[in-house]
Amino acid sequence: MKELCIEYGYTSLNHYGEELCGDNVEMSVADGWTTVVLADGLGSGVKANILSTLTSKILCTMVSGGADMEDCVGTIIQTLPVCKERGVAYSTFSVIHVNNEGRGHLFEFDNPEAIWYHHGHTCDFPREEMDICGKKVFHTPLELAEGDMVFVMSDGTIHAGIGQMLNFGWQRKEIMEHLDTNIDAHMSARAAACLLASACNDLYLDRPGDDTTVASIRVRPRMEVHIMVGPPVDKEKDEVYVKHFLEGADKRIVCGGTTSQVVARCMGRQLKTSFDFPDKEVPPIGFIDGIDLVTEGVITMRRLLALSEKYVSVKDLTPKTYSKKDGGSLLANIIFEEATHVVFFVGQNVNAAHQGLDIDITMKLKLVEHLAENLRRMGKIVTVNYD
């Protein structure tokens, strides 16, 4: 049976004219459990940001540490500052705490009800009402299956379009219909959250009247992708290096002309090059039997890094799946959308073809370093091997 894991992601829209978002999301992965907390602070701006940040950080720390929800809510009530104008310390929240098999708990306090994407369509969770420290909190035991997603959101989603595109905002039923129509079963949690937040932004006519955040998790199979970037310094190690690169991977990617020649030779396969230029700024891809993707090196990696910067931005609303067929877009789809674990094999041999060009081994290493950092921010498990 394929090993499962939890993927997560979120997107936030600031109230129009505000520099800070009144919603905050905290995520934690520890001991096989994933905790996601979305908190919505009272109002907007600085006050709301402080309230939501305190709430999400406290809850995420306590829940991931195994604390009882009653203790968590009690701590929140005693900790939050009181608003002088309204006399309340108020921050709503949604908490998902789930293990890699999809078993766990959902707790909700005054946020819009979570949406469950199950077997290809959206549905409601059964919710049990709890009285905790005088607060009405809803609890749902989670038994998620492979491919399931859970969406939690702030009330900016159901307020979207009020007085603009819609008279009464976006109703829950309409949100679920939108997800049913537009979600792809293989879409990542980050891409799905962005899709819903982007639709809210459209209803707000790019001027959100409320802070709007969508966070989601997805139960998915583990997918380990190996990426070889450059041959090893010692040419005598080529065979061993390529062998390690090929072992244990669900998908294999080779970046670089010289690297692809080394891999083809060690595998006893032929390297073929495409003459198609889907993007004039990105060199064409190549083909080796047994390798899932072969691309050019530094230029394609630069494009990939630029795409990763947009992907990790929680405020970027561009689609997180890529329809273009250039090497950078194909790479991005595999390691951003499909991979859960990414292993880099970075050979540090100096490429004679780069002599006299503004490309050196240091540049390549920095590209891999920055890319690995962004992949970790996406929630990927990243390993970098140097030789």
**What residues have CB less than 8 Å from 216, skipping those under 6 apart?**
8, 9, 10, 149, 150, 151, 152, 189, 190, 192, 193
- Structural domains for the chain: 4-220 (3.60.40.10), 224-386 (no CATH)
Distance separating alpha carbons of residues 272 and 274, to the nearest angstrom: 7
Structure tokens at 188: 């990542």
Could you list the pLDDT tens digit for every one of the 387 residues in the chain? Answer: 679 999 999 999 999 999 999 999 999 999 999 999 999 998 889 989 999 999 999 999 999 999 998 899 888 887 877 666 665 668 899 999 999 999 999 999 999 999 999 999 999 999 999 998 888 899 999 999 999 999 999 999 998 877 666 556 688 999 999 999 999 878 999 999 999 999 999 999 999 999 999 999 999 999 999 999 988 888 888 999 999 999 999 999 999 999 999 999 999 999 999 988 899 999 999 999 999 999 999 899 999 999 999 999 999 999 998 989 999 999 999 999 999 999 999 988 766 555 555 555 678 889 999 999 999 999 999 999 998
**Residues facing 221 on adjacent strands:** 4
Helix axes 172-182, 189-203, angle to 10 degrees: 130
**Can you give the pLDDT at residue 163?**
63
CB atoms within 10 A of CB 373: 12
**Can you give the pLDDT at residue 361?**
64
Task: Name the DSSP class of 19.
Answer: S
CB atoms within 10 A of CB 243: 11
CB atoms within 10 A of CB 108: 22
Q: Distance from CA of residue 261 to its chain's centroid?
A: 33
**Can you give the pLDDT at residue 86?**
63
The DSSP bridge pattern shows strands 115-118 and 121-123 to be antiparallel
CB 11 within 8 A of CB 230: no
The DSSP bridge pattern shows strands 212-221 and 286-287 to be unpaired
**Can you give the pLDDT at residue 132?**
87
Distance separating alpha carbons of residues 116 and 124, to the nearest angstrom: 6
**Can you give the pLDDT at residue 275?**
87
**Can you give the pLDDT at residue 100?**
94
**Can you give the pLDDT at residue 162?**
75
Distance separating alpha carbons of residues 89 and 367, to the nearest angstrom: 45
Q: What is the CA radius of gyration of the chain?
A: 23
**Can you give the pLDDT at residue 69?**
85
Amino acid at 65: G
Contacts 24+ apart (CB under 8 A), 273-277: 276/325, 277/326
